[in-house]
């Protein structure tokens, strides 16, 4: 069942079959119909490998992510795939597992499969690998890289405005003592968020108390431990921002374990808005970074750039939005009745 057999059955040349498949207009309706019937009868599926080889177009778009089990990514992957399918393109997802060596494997896969474009949504990236890709004129789009580069598109996330919205939300609720659980400073994204927090606090004329700043690992356990450390201190903020949602959820768990209530005893705001939050108890107030939007923008950037070199190196910005749920509330005056035991019963 290759194109020749289809051609024989339909009594046409392979060129005509190919044209029919690819929707070329240079085929009579009747001929096309005959070809289509032959395809149907033989249950013929064109060989993608041969197609890509012959045409020089793979119709394949690479998506490199860190780790699909990181809740930030599934929705991104799904949205990216959805858009791609709409355009009749395919997606090749590769996980780096945060490992530079695996990253090389991923890039090499993209190169070997002749991807028509590659979206890189991880923070760990090495210069020489980027060169490898861009020197082959493969359209690239990065998520949120700090340093823009010639000919490489970038999707920036306006952290400043996102964090600002969170801080404003808190101050409007009367909070002035605001803490922050940052991510590991080795991560670009964590550093940027932390810096945005510092800047925002300064802009609002709020004092930054180093004691109210802890570091997690962008996972639940790290958030949990960071909040524990925070709660063990002599000073306690009335609100805490976190570097991502997983951290916030971990922190929420720590509050729960200590018998403290959110938002009464402390307001907590996450970052990212992973699906999970909708159902967290209580629902997590967070700064949403729409994965659907990122995926859409990324795919379009690549798709555009495929035939149009001028479209390369475009800059996009995603505006985060504050999503108010249940973990933020008015700053309450400290109450005497802050005994864990009592609240545990009340639950």
Partner DNA sequence: GATACGAGTGAAATCGGTTACAATCTCACC
Partner DNA sequence: GGTGAGATTGTAACCGATTTCACTCGTATC
Q: 117-120 and 213-215: which strand pairing?
A: unpaired
CB 297 within 8 A of CB 153: no
The SS3 of residue 69 is coil
Q: CB neighbours (10 Å) of residue 275?
A: 11
The one segment of 18-26, 76-84, 304-312, 324-332 that binds DNA by CB under 7 A: 18-26
Give the one residue of 4, 28, 41, 85 binding a second copy; rule: CB under 8 A. Answer: 85
Instruction: Return the one option of a second copy, DNA, none that residue 347 interacts with (CB less than 5 to 8 A, by type).
Output: a second copy
Rank residues 46 and 184 by Cβ distance to a second copy and give the closer one.
Answer: 46
Instruction: Return the one option of a second copy, DNA, none that residue 22 interacts with (CB less than 5 to 8 A, by type).
Output: DNA
The one segment of 17-25, 202-210, 211-219, 261-269 that binds DNA by CB under 7 A: 17-25
* 306/295 Cα distance (integer angstroms): 17
Q: Is 54 in the site for DNA (CB under 7 A)?
A: yes
**DSSP string of 167-188, one letter each residue:** HHHHHHTT---EEEEE--TTSH
Element (H, E) at 50: helix 48-55
* 340/90 Cα distance (integer angstroms): 54
Instruction: Return the one option of DNA, a second copy, none that residue 69 interacts with (CB less than 5 to 8 A, by type).
Output: a second copy
Q: Is 199 in the site for a second copy (CB under 8 A)?
A: no
Which residue's structure tokens are 């864990």? 340
Q: Is 258 in the site for a second copy (CB under 8 A)?
A: no
The one segment of 42-50, 67-75, 133-141, 328-336 that binds DNA by CB under 7 A: 42-50
Q: 321-323 and 239-242: which strand pairing?
A: unpaired
Q: Is 42 in the site for a second copy (CB under 8 A)?
A: no
Binding residues for a second copy restricted to 147-186, rule: CB under 8 A? none
* 202/196 Cα distance (integer angstroms): 10
Q: Is 304 in the site for a second copy (CB under 8 A)?
A: no
Instruction: Return the one option of DNA, a second copy, none that residue 4 interacts with (CB less than 5 to 8 A, by type).
Output: DNA
Structure tokens, 254: 């720590």
Please count the residues of this chain forming the interface with a second copy, following the rule CB under 8 A: 53
CB 201 within 8 A of CB 167: yes
Binding site for DNA (CB under 7 A): 2-4, 11-19, 21-22, 25-28, 30-31, 44, 46-47, 50-51, 53-57
């Amino acid at each position: 069942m290759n194109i020749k057999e289809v051609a024989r059955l339909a009594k046409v040349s392979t060129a005509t079959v190919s044209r029919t498949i690819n929707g070329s207009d240079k085929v009579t309706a009747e001929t096309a119909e005959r070809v289509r019937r032959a395809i149907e009868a033989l249950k013929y599926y064109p060989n993608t490998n041969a197609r890509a080889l012959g045409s020089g177009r793979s119709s394949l778009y690479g998506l490199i992510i860190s780790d699909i089990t990181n809740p930030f990514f599934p929705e991104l992957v799904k949205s990216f795939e959805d858009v791609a399918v709409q355009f009749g393109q395919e997606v090749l997802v590769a996980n780096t597992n945060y490992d530079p060596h695996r990253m090389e494997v991923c890039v090499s896969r993209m190169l070997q499969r002749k991807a028509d474009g590659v979206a890189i949504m991880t923070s760990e990236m090495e210069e020489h690998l980027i060169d490898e890709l861009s020197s082959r004129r493969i359209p690239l789009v990065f998520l949120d890289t700090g340093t823009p580069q010639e000919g490489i598109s970038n999707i920036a996330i306006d952290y400043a405005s996102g964090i600002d919205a969170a801080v404003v939300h808190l101050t409007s609720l009367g909070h002035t003592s605001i803490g922050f659980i940052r991510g590991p400073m080795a991560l670009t994204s964590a550093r940027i968020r932390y810096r945005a927090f510092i800047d925002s606090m300064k802009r609002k004329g709020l004092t930054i108390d180093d004691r109210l700043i802890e570091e997690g690992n962008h996972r639940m356990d790290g958030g949990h431990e960071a909040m524990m450390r925070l709660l063990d201190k002599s000073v306690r903020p009335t609100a805490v921002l976190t570097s991502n949602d997983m951290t916030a959820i971990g922190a929420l768990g720590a509050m729960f374990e200590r018998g403290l209530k959110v938002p009464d005893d402390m307001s907590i705001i996450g970052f990212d808005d992973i699906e999970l939050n909708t159902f967290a108890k209580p629902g997590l107030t967070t700064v949403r970074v729409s994965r659907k939007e990122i995926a859409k923008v990324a795919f379009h950037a690549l798709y555009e750039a495929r035939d149009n070199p001028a479209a390369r190196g475009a800059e996009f910005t995603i505006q985060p939005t504050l999503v108010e749920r249940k973990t933020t509330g008015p700053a309450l005056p400290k109450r005497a009745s802050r005994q864990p035991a009592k609240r545990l019963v009340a639950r």
